[in-house]
């Protein structure tokens, strides 16, 4: 029920983020939510409109109208479903924690920025982050006094009430003392008030709006008429008729799809990213079935598109509400879905009196905690280099289109992996056998594959030419190799034998040996036993 | 000298591949070659027009004219120089052997295809591989008899003479017997004939062309007038005037550059790729300074663009000639450059009599050995999976534009690396301590980074939940970790302690430990000593 009370104001607000009529937010919040009960794998995923997906929907369909949003929901679901069937869930693994944090923080800031205009009641232009803020500062003198006051009061109360959601509810307090019934019920009541703070605030402000409306003088901007009733069940619009002046133009599927462009791939992936993040966060030592989630979210989005919804996913902010309300199975979606249906049938006429500033406050209070400043400190202490993709993604997402921003972030991160593959650490030591014979021990610390083989060859050649000693390459850590590595090994053995220098491969894994043997290199000496190695080095020095 | 005699017919032929007037081929072959003497690092690189770069030049400038080719040479040089300064020579490492083989083979086939029309004297349309061949078969009845005969004879003689280039030249034969002076000079003569076969063939066929021309009845197509003399030294055309009907239109730098598009990046990289491949092939156990080569080739191309050249690089086919002719230092470029200059001053009037079919034969005989069928067998024996990027690149380069083909090939190959990073091999064993206590030993075989952490966590969780035993993670092979890994380790330790299950990290590298400790996980137990490990497992089992 708390989730249901949260989702109603949030879904109106997210619909405004997606730039579709507000009732579409409610349409998005019930059918998928009910279907998820049967096919979802996580008890903590509240399916419905979310900040990231709503923003990306807007970026994809721009101002083209709700038909595009509904079609996008269908395409998003279809893409997610196909990705699930193809087993592409591993793709999510390539978005690292730092990149996801940077992206989420940027989304939060962008949404926050987009709400400031409603909060202050000023006209704002510009879509890029910096543009919007400069426009806000230019127009700040247009601020509507009562909108700003209402907005500030709303945000303050939401943030204050939020503290209450952390009240412990167990029957026994910290010191193990059993609490009184009065105490228990009191804290439960406070917790409930706090958790459904969005709904309570909206009801109070809505009543205020109604009161002033009846008096004929509303000091703040209201959201206006929201059509009531359940949406019609119909096939998603694979083409629609549009009025241009007096003419009616038919816009086909191909044209609609090409307008949406890369969004058809980006929206599904980001939706899944958010969803899997929730599953992971609340997994508590259980394994997650990502493929199942891909299929479930896909089906929910497809079903949703038949009731005029825009794309949706599991919402991070509501998942916390759901989890801490004590969800046990995905069945809690039943309550959420039912409450939304009831709201659509009975309460929509009241929604018109909700002030815009209140809705903006609901959003701001929800997204402000998505700005993940708190991860910087542990990241700094753990691995400073990981701040680069994190901050890179954050800045890129603010300065560039969001999908390019996250793409860049993932790209930077993958470069780290490639660089690692290209530049193994190689230890070179001059050792003595028991019998006092000097030799060079060269130990690469990871697998030998094409980007690194020339580097390794150059290093081995350099060190072995400098000191004319027998060379032992310790292959204990080489767990794999490819054809390029085999070529280089062949060249190395030939080089060494033409220099009359001994080269021994020590402790080579059989699978790697098979790769090297494929080129049948001459003078290729592999030793597994330490004693034989010592013996070989001794007899070699006798020959020299 | 043999290189000089090879470069003259080849440079005319490569100019026809690049679709610029033939004299440009000669212009490309002297200045850069002379400059390379001073700044080049490899004794075996003959700087001049090459198959790959000429073909890519054509693909970049299409039929826009030689001004574009000269500008492209300047831009190519500039890009290569900047890449050298930025230390981007490691980029070449990411093109693996199989991908390079696939690409080179595709280029050879494309050039071969483009020459068949000259060989048979038929008109051919179509730019894509399959299109061209279908056009050849459609128009095969137009075959000009004498062109085809001459072409066949030329190719046959070139391929036959090629065998002679493998004659041993040393004063002592295989059996250690000293050879007679007659024998030595005889084999040297044969070797010289064989190595300068291109020049000899062109001279003979040119004379035939001249003979028939004087008689007034030439049975085959000649290449036509080639303007003589050295090229004018002038600034590369950063804009030029073009006649369109009666009007003269000025085409600016921006327009020229945007016509060339991605070629400005692709041509330099592929040129360097070819060049570095030569350096590696003839390195013979010495290390290569790739950065030096980047800078040298860059400067040569820039200088070349002042004498109206198109982009060039080190040529693989001539590098073999140079190497086996016994080059000792880069100074042999002096002979090549001088011969080309002499040819430009004195011999150009004779070039008009060279038959097209002869030039086509020179090209075909040069590129036919670039089709690397012979690498398939060792690749199959060594690592079958490496055939995928190789054949993938080959097919993609034939079916798609070349630059997209090689880009795809590199992409496929990098996916292998990423997949490897994402899916480490994890060994799970149930072991007993000396005192008979069961425990689970889990050994990941490579580093823990973001694409693999969830996989590792799921695996560890699955196995440790199935068997309620103390778990030891052997970290000997984990040579690095990132923030995402640290997060997962924290979650794992928390999960285990909430299950009251012992989790020990064994033999963790200090650098990795520092990353994990950054998040200060609770109940994080690291053990380095085998005996302490056994002791801990014993006491743990007592507690249970």
In chain A, what residues touch B479 (CB-CB under 8 Å)? 425, 445-446, 477
Q: Model confidence over B107-160: pLDDT tens digits?
A: 889 888 888 888 887 887 776 788 888 888 888 888 888 888 999 999 999 888
pLDDT in tens, A335-385: 999 999 999 998 888 888 888 888 888 888 888 888 888 888 888 888 888
Would you state the pLDDT for residue A543? 47
Q: Which two tokens stand for residue A303?
A: 């079903």
**Where does the pLDDT of residue B285 fall: very low under 50, low under 70, confident under 90, or very high at 90 and above?**
low
Cβ contacts of B383 on chain A, cutoff 8 Å: 481-483, 486, 515, 518
SS3 A169: coil
A511 vs A276: CA distance, rounded Å: 36
* Three-state SS at A473: strand
Q: Is the pLDDT reported for residue B44 higher than 70?
A: yes
Whether A427 has its CB under 8 Å from any CB of chain B: the answer is no
Instruction: Tell me which residue has tokens 């190789």.
Output: B390
Interface test with B, best of A379, A389, A450, A494 (most B CBs within 10 A): A450
Ranges of CATH 3.30.750.24 domains, chain B: 426-543
- Mean pLDDT rounded to a whole number for chain A: 86
Burial A44-80 (b: 16+ CB within 10 A, else e): bbbbbbbbbbbbbbbbbbeebbbbbbbbbbbbbbbbb
Q: How far, in Å, CA of B177 to CA of B2, rounded?
A: 28
Q: What's the distance, Cα to Cα, between the start and end of chain A in Å? A: 85
Give the model confidence (pLDDT) of A447-493 as tens digits. 888 888 888 888 888 888 888 888 899 988 888 888 888 888 888 88
Give Dmax over CA atoms of chain B in angstroms.
109
Q: A518 CB near a chain B CB, below 8 Å?
A: yes
Q: Which helix (H) or strand (E) holds A432?
A: strand A426-432
Taking residues A86-98, report their average pLDDT. 85
Q: In the predicted model, what is the mean pLDDT of residues B316-339?
A: 84
Judged by CB atoms closer than 8 Å, whether chains meet at B518 and A381 is answered as: yes
Whether residue B97 and residue A495 make contact (CB cut-off 8 A), yes or no, is: no
Residues of B in contact with A445 (CB under 8 A): 479
| B168/A309 Cα distance (integer angstroms) | 80
pLDDT on residue B543: 47
Q: What is the mean pLDDT of residues A308-323?
A: 87
Quick check: A167 pLDDT over 80?
Answer: no
Closest Cα in chain A, distance from residue B80 (Å): 20
What is this model's ipTM? 0.79
**Contact yes or no for B319/B36 (Cβ under 8 A):** no
The percent of residues above 90 in pLDDT, for chain B, comes to 19
Does the beta-carbon distance from A482 to B385 stay under 8 Å?
Answer: yes
Give which of B99, B378, B417, B453 to mutate to test A binding, by max A Cβ within 10 Å.
Answer: B417
| Chain A interface mutation, best of B449, B484, B494, B520, highest count of A Cβ atoms under 10 Å | B484
Task: Identify all chain A residues contacting B461, using CB atoms and an 8 Å cutoff.
Answer: 285-287
Instruction: Kindly state whether A94 is in contact with chain B, defined as any CB-CB distance less than 8 angstroms.
Output: yes
Nearest CA of chain A to the CA of B130: how many Å?
A: 30
Closest in B90, B382, B479 to A519, CB measured:
B382
Q: How far apart are CA B184 and CA B192, in angstroms?
A: 12
pLDDT for residue A544: 41
pLDDT score, position B198: 85
* Pick from B97, B286, B465: CB nearest A487: B97
The answer, for B447 touching chain A at a CB cutoff of 8 Å, is yes
Distance in angstroms (rounded) separating the CA atoms of residues A112 and A106? 10
Residues of A in contact with B451 (CB under 8 A): 90, 93-94, 96, 417
Mutate to test the interface with B, among A277, A483, A485, A521 (most CBs of B within 10 A): A483
Per-residue model confidence (pLDDT) at position A307: 93
CA separation, residue A516 to residues A441, A442, A512, B514 (Å): 20, 18, 6, 36
pLDDT (mean) for B270-293: 83
Bridge-based pairing state of the strands B503-506 and B471-474: parallel
Which among A67, A322, A328, A371 has a CA at the least distance from the CA of A195? A322
Q: Residues 6 or more apart from B30 whose CB is under 8 A from it?
A: B307, B336, B337, B338, B340, B341, B344
Please report residues of A whose CB lies closer than 8 A to that of B499.
Answer: 285
Q: How close A128 gets to chain B, by Cα (Å)?
A: 27
Contact B485, B505 (CB under 8 A): no
Query: What are the backbone dihedrals phi and psi of residue B427, each rounded to the nearest 5 degrees, phi first?
Result: -95, 130
- With cut-offs at 50, 70 and 90, classify the pLDDT of residue A297: very high
For residue A172, the SS3 value is strand
Report the DSSP beta bridge partners of residue A249.
A242
In this predicted model, what pLDDT tens digit does every residue of A169-210 receive, in sequence order?
Answer: 666 776 777 777 888 888 888 888 888 888 889 899 999 999
Looking at the complex, report in whole angstroms how far the Cα of residue A240 sits from the nearest Cα belonging to chain B. 36
- Is the CB of B374 inside 8 Å of chain A's CB atoms? no
pLDDT at A433 (0 to 100): 81
Q: What is the pLDDT of residue B540?
A: 64
Within the 162-191 window of chain B, which residues sit less than 8 Å (CB to CB) from chain A?
Answer: none
| DSSP SS3 for B440 | strand
Residue scoring higher pLDDT (B454 or B543): B454
**Model confidence over A497-529: pLDDT tens digits?**
888 888 889 888 888 888 888 887 887 888 888
What distance in Å separates the CA atoms of residue A375 and residue A373, rounded to the nearest whole number? 6
Residue B178 pairs with which residues in a beta bridge? B172
Mean pLDDT of chain B: 86
Of residues B491, B397, B394, B389, the one with CA closest to residue B96: B389
Place of tokens 């650490």: A425
The pLDDT tens digits of the residues spanning A100-158 come to 889 889 988 988 888 888 888 788 777 678 888 888 888 888 888 888 899 999 999 98
In this predicted structure, the answer to whether residue A285 has a pLDDT above a threshold of 70 is no
Which three-class secondary structure string do you get for B216-251? CCCCCCECCCCCCCCCCCCCCCCEEEEEECCEEEEE
Right CATH for A426-543 from 3.80.10.10, 3.30.750.24, 3.40.50.720, 3.20.20.140: 3.30.750.24
- Cα(A451)–Cα(B90) distance, rounded to whole angstroms? 8
For strand A426-432 and strand A313-314, is the pairing parallel, antiparallel, or unpaired?
A: unpaired
pLDDT band at A304 (very low <50, low <70, confident <90, very high): very high
| Residue found under tokens 């008109």 | B123
Q: Which residues of A269-279 are buried (b: 16+ CB within 10 A; e: fewer)?
A: bbbbbbbbbbb
Calculate the dihedral angle through the C-alpha atoms of A189, A192, A197, A202, rounding to the nearest 10 degrees.
-90
Does position A541 have pLDDT exceeding 80, yes or no?
A: no
| Residue B339 pLDDT greater than 60, yes or no | yes
């Amino acid at each position: 029920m708390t989730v249901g009370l949260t989702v109603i104001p949030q879904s109106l607000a997210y619909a405004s983020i997606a730039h579709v009529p507000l009732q579409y937010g409610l349409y998005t919040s019930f059918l998928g939510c009910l279907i998820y009960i049967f096919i979802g794998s996580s008890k903590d995923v509240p399916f419905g409109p979310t900040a990231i997906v709503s923003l990306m929907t807007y970026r994809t369909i721009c101002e083209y109208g709700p038909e595009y949003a509904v079609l996008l929901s269908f395409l998003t679901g279809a893409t997610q479903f196909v990705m699930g069937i193809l087993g592409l869930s591993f793709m999510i693994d390539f978005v690292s924690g730092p990149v996801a944090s940077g992206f989420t923080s940027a989304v939060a800031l962008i949404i926050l920025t987009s709400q400031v205009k409603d909060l202050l009641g000023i006209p704002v232009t510009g879509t890029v982050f910096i543009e919007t803020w400069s426009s806000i500062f230019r127009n700040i003198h247009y601020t509507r006094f009562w909108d700003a006051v209402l907005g500030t009061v709303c945000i303050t109360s939401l943030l204050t009430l939020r503290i209450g959601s952390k009240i412990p509810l167990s029957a026994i307090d910290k010191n193990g003392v059993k609490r009184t019934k009065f105490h228990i019920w009191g804290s439960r009541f406070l917790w409930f008030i706090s958790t459904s703070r969005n709904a309570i605030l909206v009801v109070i402000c809505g009543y205020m709006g109604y009161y002033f409306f009846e008096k004929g003088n509303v000091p703040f901007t209201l959201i206006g008429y929201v059509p009531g009733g359940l949406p019609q069940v119909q096939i998603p619009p694979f083409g629609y008729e549009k009025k241009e002046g007096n003419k009616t133009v038919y816009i086909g599927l191909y044209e609609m799809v090409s307008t949406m462009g890369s969004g058809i791939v980006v929206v599904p992936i980001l939706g899944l990213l958010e969803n899997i993040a929730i599953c992971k966060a609340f997994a508590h030592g259980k394994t997650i079935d990502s493929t199942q989630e891909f299929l479930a979210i896909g089906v929910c989005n497809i079903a949703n598109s038949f009731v005029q919804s825009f794309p949706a996913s599991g919402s991070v902010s509501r998942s916390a509400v759901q989890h801490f309300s004590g969800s046990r199975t995905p069945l809690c979606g039943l309550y959420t879905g039912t409450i939304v249906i009831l709201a659509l049938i009975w309460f929509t006429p009241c929604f018109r009196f909700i002030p815009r500033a209140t809705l903006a406050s609901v959003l701001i209070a929800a997204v402000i905690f998505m700005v993940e400043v708190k991860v910087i400190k542990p990241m700094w202490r753990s691995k400073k280099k990981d701040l680069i993709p994190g901050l890179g993604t954050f800045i890129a997402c603010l300065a560039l289109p969001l999908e390019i921003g996250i793409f860049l972030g993932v790209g930077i991160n993958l470069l780290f992996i490639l660089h690692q593959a290209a530049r193994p650490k190689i230890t070179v030591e001059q050792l003595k056998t028991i019998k006092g014979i000097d030799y060079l021990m060269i130990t690469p610390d990871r697998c030998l594959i094409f980007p690194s083989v020339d580097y390794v060859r150059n290093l081995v050649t350099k060190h072995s030419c400098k000191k004319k000693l027998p060379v032992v390459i310790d292959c204990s850590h080489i767990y794999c190799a490819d054809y390029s590595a085999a070529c280089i090994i062949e060249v190395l053995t030939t080089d060494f034998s033409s220099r009359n220098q001994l080269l021994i491969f020590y402790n080579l894994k059989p699978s790697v040996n098979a790769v090297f043997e494929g080129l049948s290199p001459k003078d290729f000496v592999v030793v597994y036993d330490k004693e034989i190695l010592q013996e070989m080095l001794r007899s070699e020095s006798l020959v020299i």
